[in-house]
Amino acid sequence: MRVLGIETSCDETALAIVKKNDNGEFEVEKHLLASQVLVHSKFGGVVPEVAAREHIASIFPMLDELGIEKDGQGIDAIAVTAGPGLVPALRIGVELGKVLAWVWKKPLIAVNHLEGHIYSVWAHSTPIFPALCLLVSGGHTELILMKDHGDYEIIGMTRDDAAGEAFDKVAKLLDLGYPGGPAIAKLAEQGNPREIDFPRPMIDTDDYDFSFSGLKTAVKREVAEMSQKAQMAERENIAASFQAAVVETLVTKTMRAVEKYQPKSVILSGGVSANQSLRSSLKEILNKQCPEISFHAPELFLTGDNAIMIAIAGIYHAMKNEFIDPLTLVADPNMRLV
């Protein structure tokens, strides 16, 4: 089965052709990604209308570049991100998917973007169910128990800011530009993570929820209290101490959920899963405390938004004949996983 994946939920235009081979392995035949990061960095964040315009400008040349026959020959289905995300941005991919499905007479699959992030690890590995997934991205921080393909239970989520959002906001406070995650991680390499004792929000609560807005406020206070000169010198320590607080909170809560739900594998995915400190901390503690549980994180180029993960999630839907009529599909900014 060969599926065309389309992703335009935020600020990356992405197309991919992924084939599921007879031996069950996924083969990425082609994948293209046009990032709009430079365009949005001028505004300090993603501007939905600008994102839509950029998607329109990029997506047709990218489709041409894939070199698919005019009648869609060789493609068995089209998988498109239908939500959640920014409506003007989502619509570009959704409308393209609908038109191609109609003209090529191919089945259409509506993929949830978060499901896509989870499936990014299937590109190179096969987690065993039940799997516990820590999904950490720009808009979401969720602990999800995945009992089978398409069978999800959300056991915890953020009550305010997402982890990626916290990285981006703290980066702004430190004048590091957008997106903030990679910039904080880089600066943190030179800092002392134990220098400032930032709060570990909700780390001891009896649930699996997160909260990062108080941590962001603590950083803001720290920055405000320092002189400008001290801030410049201390930025590395602030970045390192902030990152340590986020990582410890995420890892502690995930391990508590591991204890309760006893999964066979743990999946870390979403844009923040690119963070090396988070990846190595979670992997290390899991290997040490529960060596029988396998750990899966996407390859670095699959941590952010891409169409490979959308195509893979789409293939699992296609295997269950879960298709949607192209005349009824609409972009859903609040699309839910369950």
Ligand X SMILES: Nc1ncnc2c1ncn2[C@@H]1O[C@H](COP(=O)(O)OP(=O)(O)OP(=O)(O)O)[C@@H](O)[C@H]1O
For the bound state, the minimum distance from the C-beta of residue 142 to ligand X, rounded and expressed in Å, comes to: 9
Residue 279's binding partner out of Mg ion, ligand X, none, with CB under 5 to 8 Å set by partner kind: none
Q: Which residue among 5, 107, 156, 180 contacts ligand X (CB under 6 A)?
A: 180
Inter-residue contact 50 to 44 (CB < 8 Å):
no
Q: What is the DSSP-derived secondary structure letter of residue 192?
A: -
**Nearest alpha-carbon partner for 141 in 116, 162, 160:** 162
Q: Which of 93, 156, 304, 326 binds ligand X (CB under 6 A)?
A: 304
Segment lying near ligand X (by CB under 6 A), choices 28-36, 151-159, 178-186, 226-234: 178-186
SS3 35: strand
Burial 291-326 (b: 16+ CB within 10 A, else e): eebbbbbbeeebbbbbbbbbbbbbbbbbeeeebbeb
Q: Does 5 bind ligand X (CB under 6 A)?
A: no
Gap between the Cα atoms of 48 and 40, Å rounded: 10
Binding segment (CB under 6 A) for ligand X, from list 148-156, 225-233, 272-280, 329-337? 272-280
Is residue 7 within 8 A of residue 115, CB to CB? The reply is: no
181 binds, among ligand X, Mg ion, none (CB under 5 to 8 A by kind): ligand X
Which span (137-145, 149-157, 185-193, 316-324) binds Mg ion, by CB under 5 A? 137-145
Give the dihedral of Cα atoms 215, 182, 188, 267; nearest 10 deg.
70
Of 193-252, which residues contact ligand X (CB under 6 A)?
none
Contact 7, 93 (CB under 8 A): yes
Q: Nearest residue to ligand X, using CB? A: 271
Residue 53's identity, in one-letter code, is: R
Q: Structure tokens of 26?
A: 């996924």
Question: Token pair 């609040």 is at which residue?
Answer: 334
Q: Does 88 bind ligand X (CB under 6 A)?
A: no
Among 305, 307, 318, 323, binds Mg ion (CB under 5 A): 305
93 belongs to the binding site for ligand X (CB under 6 A): no
Minimum CB–partner distance for residue 103 and ligand X (Å): 29
Confirm if 178 and 40 have CB atoms less than 8 A apart.
yes
**Of 137, 158, 249, 294, the one binding ligand X by CB under 6 A:** 137
| Position 40 contacts ligand X (CB under 6 A) | no
Convert 286-331 into a string of H (helix), E (strand) and C (coil): HHHHCCCCEEECCCHHHCCCCCHHHHHHHHHHHHCCCCECCCCCCC
Stretch that binds ligand X, among 75-83, 123-131, 160-168, 192-200 (CB under 6 A): 160-168
What residues line the site for Mg ion (CB under 5 A)? Answer: 137, 305
Task: Summarize as ranges the residues that interact with ligand X (CB under 6 A).
Answer: 9-10, 85, 113, 117, 137-140, 164, 167-168, 179-182, 185, 270-272, 274-275, 304-305
